[in-house]
């Protein structure tokens, strides 16, 4: 059996990064009515916060009726017990909406938000709240995909409710952040074999129902995507949905769209029907994404893990964040390793060093969170990497220095960052992202499947007709580093009302969790655009 690992995800991200950063535009777009390149986040005009009463409501929306999925097929006993215990229903043909709103204002607009690949509500929760703070007439609906319903976060929720980390620490395998066997429910291949059918058409159908629910409230509806969630958005807009013989292009269902630092189109890397059926090896060599022939047999693990259902990377991220949020100054259960040395480290520093841009050569998916209170080798800059070589003077462990000590260099808000990762209401990850969605998105060439073998599987055929107002925000140090990448996309559509803003200095994980005493440029730009375009 071919081995599937988390590496296809990271390879996918690398492919996307490479493709999106190699685009060349031959002409300027008349569609772009405002284009600002390289704006400092500190110079973006801050919107006035009118009212701080932002509330959260969670509700379920019926989804695409995938015939292999419970309740249309009986679940295994293990899965049934888990679903009834956590959700009170076995229905997985549904998704959730996290609605941020201000009850003191009559809303006129609903902005539906889509998170990126392997991402959950937490990655955009702060941005959603920040938009409502600045535009209280707007509701923000974060769409949580059906795959998030498979996660057993009971141990994390208990820890956050009690603020006692003892049971969480006791639940870890020795010298690791991995959960011991049977501590939480982890689905087997038999439990979730139906996820092999959860591809673009299924998720687009779920999102279609969410959009229609928003439309039924007779408000303006804006569709937006963050990171690789942008690919969901642009392909949704170009998709032709047929219901009871009536065909509706996705763009006709909404009044506008916002693209947050994510690729709007890619060159397909699944380049033939044979590869779509049998699977594809991707860079680096040896990494394999299963094709539909195997995914639909129910005999191979259908989610993008190592074939065993391991969720170790996600469990580690969340465990570290919870320990940092509850007991930031306590010594972490595992020493920090740098080169051939290891050091005692606080829970806070242990969590933040995992994602801080100073410590990673591949800076795309990082944040500016400050820096470790330790001795370092190297020079701190946006292009270089430093390594920890020892404790600071008079210290017996590594601690953390907050970003406000480095004005103009470090921008993130640590409490908000931890809040989005360690939250009892939502998750920042998607533990069981179906492999099928990576296969499907990799088969859709520049938002068009109207020609070639793809038209037998997808209905993404209306891209050239898209004509709604659109806002696109990129980060010069993020995933979309040049405005030309968005211009290329707009050139392929009929959009005549487009705005592109490029922001300097922020990393990809900064854009959501800047808040508090700092500016929130994504929210400021969005609120101003909504007011300008729809009021």
Helix (H, G, I), strand (E, B) or coil at 472: strand
What's the Cα-to-Cα distance from 286 to each of 7, 11, 130, 510, rounded to whole Å?
10, 11, 43, 33
pLDDT exceeds 90 at position 21: no
Answer yes or no: are the C-beta atoms of 158 and 424 closer than 8 Å: no
Give residue limits of the domains in the chain. Answer: 7-311+423-534, 324-421
For the chain, the average pLDDT equals 91
Residue 429 confidence class, pLDDT cut points 50, 70, 90: very high
pLDDT reported for residue 511:
86
Task: Give the pLDDT mean for 8-13.
Answer: 51
Phi–psi pair at 496, nearest 5 degrees: -115, 0
Residue 446 confidence class, pLDDT cut points 50, 70, 90: very high
Nearest to 470 by CA among 492, 446, 486: 486
pLDDT exceeds 90 at position 29: no
What architecture is the 7-311+423-534 domain classified under in CATH? 3-Layer(aba) Sandwich (3.40)
Buried b (16+ CB within 10 A) or exposed e, 349-376: bbbbbebbbbbeeebbbbbbbbbbbbeb
pLDDT reported for residue 270:
95
pTM above 0.85, yes or no: yes
Q: Record the tokens describing residue 122, joined without a space.
A: 């937490």
Nearest to 359 by CA among 387, 336, 338, 339: 387
pLDDT exceeds 60 at position 486: yes
Answer yes or no: are the C-beta atoms of 480 and 225 closer than 8 Å: no
Answer yes or no: are the C-beta atoms of 120 and 427 closer than 8 Å: yes
Non-local (6+) Cβ contacts of 225 within 8 A are: 113, 114, 116, 231, 232, 233, 234, 258, 259, 260, 262
Cβ neighbours of 50 (radius 10 Å): 16
Torsion 25-27-30-34 (CA) sign: positive
Torsion 293-8-437-490 (CA) sign: negative
Q: Record the tokens describing residue 500, joined without a space.
A: 């592109």
Q: What is the pLDDT of residues 126-177, one digit of tens each?
A: 999 999 999 999 999 999 999 999 999 999 999 999 999 999 999 999 999 9
Answer yes or no: are the C-beta atoms of 349 and 370 closer than 8 Å: no
Q: Record the tokens describing residue 175, joined without a space.
A: 């010298």
Non-local (6+) Cβ contacts of 390 within 8 A are: 341, 343, 374, 375
pLDDT reported for residue 493:
98
CA distance 270 to 275: 6
pLDDT reported for residue 518:
67
Answer yes or no: are the C-beta atoms of 433 and 118 closer than 8 Å: yes
Task: Give the pLDDT mean for 338-367.
Answer: 95
Residue 285 confidence class, pLDDT cut points 50, 70, 90: low
pLDDT reported for residue 31:
59
Q: What is the pLDDT of residues 195-238, one digit of tens each?
A: 999 999 999 999 999 999 999 999 999 999 999 999 999 999 99
pLDDT reported for residue 51:
82
Rounded percentage of the chain residues whose pLDDT exceeds 90 = 81
Residue 440 confidence class, pLDDT cut points 50, 70, 90: very high
| C-alpha 275, offset from chain centre | 27
């Amino acid at each position: 059996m071919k081995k599937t690992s988390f590496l296809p995800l990271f390879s996918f991200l690398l492919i996307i990064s490479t493709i999106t950063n190699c685009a060349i535009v031959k002409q300027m777009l008349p569609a772009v009515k405002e284009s600002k390149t390289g704006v400092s986040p500190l110079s973006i005009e801050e919107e006035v916060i009118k009212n701080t009463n932002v509330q959260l409501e969670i509700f379920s929306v019926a989804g695409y009726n995938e015939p292999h999925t419970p309740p249309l097929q009986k679940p295994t006993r293990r899965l049934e017990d888990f679903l009834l215990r956590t959700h009170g229903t076995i229905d997985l043909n549904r998704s959730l909406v996290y609605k941020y709103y201000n009850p003191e204002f009559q809303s006129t607009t609903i902005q539906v938000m889509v998170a990126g690949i392997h991402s959950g509500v937490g990655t955009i929760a702060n941005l959603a709240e920040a938009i409502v703070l600045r535009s209280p007439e707007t509701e923000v609906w974060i769409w949580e995909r059906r795959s998030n319903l498979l996660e057993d976060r009971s141990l994390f929720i208990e820890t956050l409710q009690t603020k006692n980390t003892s049971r969480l620490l006791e639940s870890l395998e020795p010298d690791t952040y991995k959960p011991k066997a049977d501590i939480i429910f982890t689905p087997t291949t038999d439990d979730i074999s139906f996820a092999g059918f959860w591809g673009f058409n299924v998720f687009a159908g779920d999102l279609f129902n969410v959009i229609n629910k928003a439309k039924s409230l007779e408000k303006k509806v804006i569709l937006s995507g963050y990171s690789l969630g942008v690919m969901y958005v642009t392909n949704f807009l170009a998709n032709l949905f047929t219901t009871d013989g009536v065909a509706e292009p996705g763009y006709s269902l909404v009044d506008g769209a916002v693209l947050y630092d994510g690729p709007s189109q890619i060159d397909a890397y699944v380049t033939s029907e044979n590869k779509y059926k049998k699977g594809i090896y991707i860079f680096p060599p040896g990494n394999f994404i299963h094709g539909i022939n195997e995914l639909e047999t129910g005999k191979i693990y259908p989610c993008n893990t190592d074939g065993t259902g391991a969720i170790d990377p996600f469990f580690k991220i969340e465990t570290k964040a919870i320990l940092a949020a509850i007991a930031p100054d306590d010594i972490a259960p595992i020493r920090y390793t740098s080169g051939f040395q290891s050091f005692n480290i606080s829970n806070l520093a242990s969590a933040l060093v995992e994602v801080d841009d100073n410590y990673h050569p591949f800076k795309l998916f990082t944040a500016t969170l400050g820096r470790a209170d330790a001795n370092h080798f190297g020079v701190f800059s946006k292009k270089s990497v430093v390594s920890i070589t020892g404790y600071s003077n008079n210290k017996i462990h590594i601690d953390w220095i907050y970003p406000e000590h480095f004005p103009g260099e470090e921008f993130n808000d640590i409490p908000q960052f931890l809040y989005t990762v360690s939250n009892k209401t939502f998750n920042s990850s998607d533990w069981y992202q179906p492999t099928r969605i990576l296969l499907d998105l990799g088969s859709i060439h520049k938002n068009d499947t109207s020609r070639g073998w793809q038209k037998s599987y997808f209905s993404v055929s209306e891209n050239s007709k898209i004509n709604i107002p659109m806002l696109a925000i990129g980060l010069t140090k993020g995933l979309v580093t040049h405005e030309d990448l968005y211009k290329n996309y707009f050139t392929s559509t009929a959009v005549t009302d487009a705005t592109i803003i490029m922001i300097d200095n922020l990393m990809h994980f900064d854009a959501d969790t800047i808040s508090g005493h700092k500016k929130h440029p994504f929210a400021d730009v969005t609120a101003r655009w909504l007011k300008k375009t729809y009021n």
